[in-house]
Structure 1
Amino acid sequence: MPITPEQAAEIDAQRAQPQPTLRATAPGIEAHLYTALPVLDHGFVRVIDYMGDDSAIVQAARVSYGAGTKHVSNDEGLIRYLMRHWHSTPFEMCEIKLHVKLPIFVARQWIRHRTANVNEYSARYSIMDREFYIPAPEQLAAQSSVNNQGRGAVLEGAEAARVLEILKTDAGRSYDHYEEMLDQDGKQGLARELARMNLPTNIYTQWYWKTDLHNLFHFLRLRADPHAQYEIRVYAEEIAKVVADWVPAAYAAFADYRMGGASVSATGLDCLRRMLKGEAVTQETSGMSKGEWREFLAMIEG
C-alpha cells in the first residue's frame, strides 16, 4: 500500500485543521495538500507546501519588465508571452514542496535534476521498509535493438514469469540478509550505514523535494515525455496533474509551447520555407544528417 494507516491518520489530521492566511492561495492545489497520490505499487506523490500562483508570475513580470508588457492585454496573454519568449525568472516566483516515495533506481535518475532542494530518508539512521518495486507484467520488456536507453518488445509467457520470480526472490533474499546483519539479539549487529549497501535499488526510499516552477517545467518536459522511462514518467504525470490545478494558465502555456511545441534549427526552418514554396526537399538536399532528417520528418508529419 502507498501509505501506512499512521500516515493516513496524520494526513487526515492535517487536512482537518486549516489555518487562516493573508498570503495568496490557489484553490486548485489547496485541494491536493497533504493527500497521497498513488504511483507504481508502493509509491506516492503528495504536496506538502507551495508558494505563489498564476498571479505571482504576472506580478513578478510586471515588476521586472514594466512598460515592456503594457501591450499584453491580460494575465493569461502575458504568461503565454513569457513562455513563448523563454523568460524564466517570473516562473521562479512559484515554488512547490513534494513528499515523494519512489524506488531508489528512479530516485537516482530523478536527482540528476540538480536545481531542487532535497532531503532524503536516511538508512544510516533508520531501517528501510520491506517494500520493493516489482514491475507489472506489461512493463517487463526486452532491451530495445535500436535504442540503448529504451525498451523493446514486452516479455511473455515463461520468460516473463522467470524474470518476475528472479526480481521477487532477489529482493526478498537481500532484505532477509539486511535484517540478519542488523540483528542484535545476542550479536553485535552490523551498523545500519554498512548493512544498507546490500539492499537492491528497487527498494523504496522517500524524500522531500522542493523546486520552483521554472525548473519543475524543465523536469516535466523531460520526464513526462512519452520517451521517458516508464517508472519516472508516471511520477511526472501525477505531478503534472497537480501543476495544472495549481497554475492553470502557466501550465496551459507550458503544454502548448513546450510539451506540444517543437524547436526547429535554422537548417530545418530553411527546409520548411522551401517546402512551403513547393520544392521537393530530400535528406540529400536538406543539409541535415540522416538522424536529423528522420527527426525533422517525424516532427512535421506528426
Structure 2
Amino acid sequence: MPLTPDQQAEIETARSEERTTRRATVPGMEAHLYNAHEVLDHGFVRVIDYMGDDNAIVQAARVSYGRGTKAVQNDAGLIRYLMRHWHSTPFEMCEIKLHVKLPVFVARQWIRHRTANVNEYSARYSILDREFYIPAPENLAAQSKINNQGRGGVLEGEEAARVLDILRADSNRAYDHYQQMLEQDGQDGLARELARMNLPANIYTQWYWKVDLHNLFHFLRLRADAHAQYEIRVYADAICKIVADWVPHAYAAFEDYRLGGVQFSGKGVDCIRRMIAGEQVDQASSGMSAGEWREFQAVLKG
C-alpha cells in the first residue's frame, strides 16, 4: 500500500478542515488536494498546495489589476500566444507543491531538473521501509540494440522469471543486512547515515517538490514524452492529469505546442521545403547524420 496508516490518517484530518480565503482557488485542484494518486507498485503523487490559476498567467502578462474587461476566449488566446512564442515569466506566477513517493533511481533522474525546491525524506534520521520497486512483467525489457539508454523487447518466460527472482532476492537480502547493521539487541550498530549505503536503488524514498508552472512544463515536456523512461513517465503522466485540472487553458496550449508539437533544425526545415518543392531528398543530400535523419524521418511518418 503506497500510504502508511499514519499518512492516511493525516490526509483525512487535513481534508476534513475547511478554510475561507480570498485568494484564487480552482475547484479541480481543490478536489486533488491531499488525495494520493497511486503510481507504480508503492509510489504516489499528491498535491499539498498550489498558487495561481489561468487568470494569474494572463494577469501577469498584462500587468493588470483584477480580471479587467477581457473575455475568457481572449485569455485562452493570450495563453496560447505566450506558449507559442516561448514566453516564460507569466507561467512562473503559478506554483505547485507535491508530495511524491518514488524509487531512488527515479528520484536521481528527477532531481536533474534543478529548478524546484526539494526536501527529501532523510535516511540519516529515519529508517527506510522495506518497499522496493519490482517491475510488472510487461515492463521488464531487454537492452535496446540501437539506443544505449533505451529498452528493447519485453523479456518473457524463464528469462523474465529469472530476472524478477534476482530483483526480489537482492532487494530483500540488502534490506535484511541493513536491519542487521542498525542498533539492535543491545549492540551499538552502525549509524543510519552509513547503513543506508547498502540499500539498492529500487528502494522507495519520498520528498516534497515545489515548482513553478514554467519549469513544471519543462519537466513534463521531457518526462511525459514517449521516449522517457517508463518509471518516470508514469509520474509525469499522473502530474499531467493534475495540471489539466489546475490550469486548463495553459495545459491545453502546452499539450498542443509542446507535447504534441515538434521542433525541426535549420537543416530539417530546409529538407521539408525541398520536399514540398518536389525534390527527392535522402540522408546523403540532407546534410544530417544517420541518427538525425532517422529521427527526422520518424517525425515525418508520425
Would you call these one fold, judging by a TM-score over 0.5?
A: yes
Residue identity in the other structure for 1:14: A
CA distance in 2, matches of 1:166, 1:285: 49
| Count of aligned pairs between the two proteins | 296
* 1:52 and 2:52 are equivalent in the alignment: yes
Superposition CA RMSD, Å: 1.4
Matched letter for residue 123 of structure 1? A
Q: CA deviation at 1:167?
A: 0.7
* Secondary structure at 2:32 match in 1: coil
Query: How far apart are the structure 1 equivalents of 2:287 and 2:181?
Result: 62
Question: CA offsets per residue over residues 87-137 of structure 1, 9 Å max, x none?
Answer: 000000000000000010110010000001000000000011111111111
Q: Determine the C-alpha separation between the residues in 1 that align with 2:54 and 2:135.
A: 37
Q: Which whole-Å CA distance do the structure 1 matches of 2:248 and 2:81 have between them?
A: 15
Structure 2 letter corresponding to 1:202: N
Counterparts of 2:166 and 2:73 in 1: how far apart (Å)?
60
- Aligned residue type for 1:276: I
How far apart in 1 are the matches of 2:95 and 2:148? 35
- Equivalent in the alignment of 1:99: 99
Instruction: Give the match for residue 233 of structure 1.
Output: 233
How do residues 1-302 of structure 1 correspond to structure 2 at under 5 angstroms?
1-63=1-63, 74-302=74-302
**TM-score, normalised to structure 2's length?**
0.95
Q: Compared with structure 1, are the counterparts of its residues 73 and 187 closer, same or farther at alpha carbon in structure 2 (3 Å cutoff)?
A: closer
**SS at structure 1 position matched to 2:35:** coil
Aligned to 1:67: none
Deviation at 1:73, TM superposition (A): 6.6
CA distance 1:187–1:73, change in 2 (3 Å)? closer
Query: Does the residue aligned with 1:74 lie in a helix, a strand or coil?
Result: helix
1:246-266 CA distance string (max 9 Å, x none): 000000000000011111122
Percent identical residues:
78
Q: Which runs of 4+ in 1 moved over 3 A?
A: none
1:19 Cα deviation (Å)?
0.7
| Cα distance, 1:176 vs structure 2 | 0.8
Q: CA deviation at 1:217?
A: 0.5
Q: Secondary structure at the match of 2:115?
A: coil
Instruction: Decide which moves more: 207-216 or 267-276.
Output: 267-276
- Structure 2's unaligned 5+ residue stretches are 65-69
Whole-angstrom distance in 2 between the partners of 1:301 and 1:201: 38
**What corresponds to 2:67 in structure 1?**
none
Q: CA deviation at 1:190?
A: 1.1
Distance 1:91 1:285 in 2: 41
Q: TM-score normalised to the size of structure 1?
A: 0.95
Give the Å deviation of 1:177.
0.9
Q: Tell me which moved more, 101-110 or 152-161.
A: 152-161
| CA distance in structure 2 between the partners assigned to 1:266 and 1:176 by the alignment | 56
1:187-225 deviations in Å (ceiling 9; x for gaps): 111111111111111110000000000000010011111
Ranges in structure 1 where 5+ consecutive residues have no aligned partner = 65-69
